[in-house]
Amino acid sequence: MNAMSSTSLTAIEKAARLKLMVFDVDGVMTDGSLWFNESGEVLKRFNVLDGHGIKLLQEAGICTAIVSGRCSDAVRHRAAELNIPHVYQGIAEKLSCFDALLLQLGLQRNEAGFMGDDLIDLAILSRCGFSASVLEAPEAVRSRVDWVASRPAGSGAVREVCDFILQAQKLLDTAISTYIGKAL
Tens digit of pLDDT at every position of the chain (184 positions)? 444 444 555 999 999 999 999 999 999 999 988 888 888 888 899 999 999 999 999 999 999 999 999 999 999 999 999 999 999 999 999 999 999 999 999 999 999 999 999 999 999 999 999 999 999 999 999 999 999 999 999 999 999 999 999 999 999 988 888 888 665 4
User: In 1-77, where do the E strands start and end?
Assistant: 20-23, 35-36, 42-43, 63-67
Cβ-defined contacts of 31-36 (< 8 Å, 24+): 31/152, 31/153, 31/154, 31/155, 32/117, 32/136, 32/153, 32/154
Give me the pLDDT at residue 92, please.
92
Domain ranges of the chain: 9-183
| pTM given for the model | 0.91
Which CATH number applies to 9-183? 3.40.50.1000
Give me the pLDDT at residue 42, please.
81
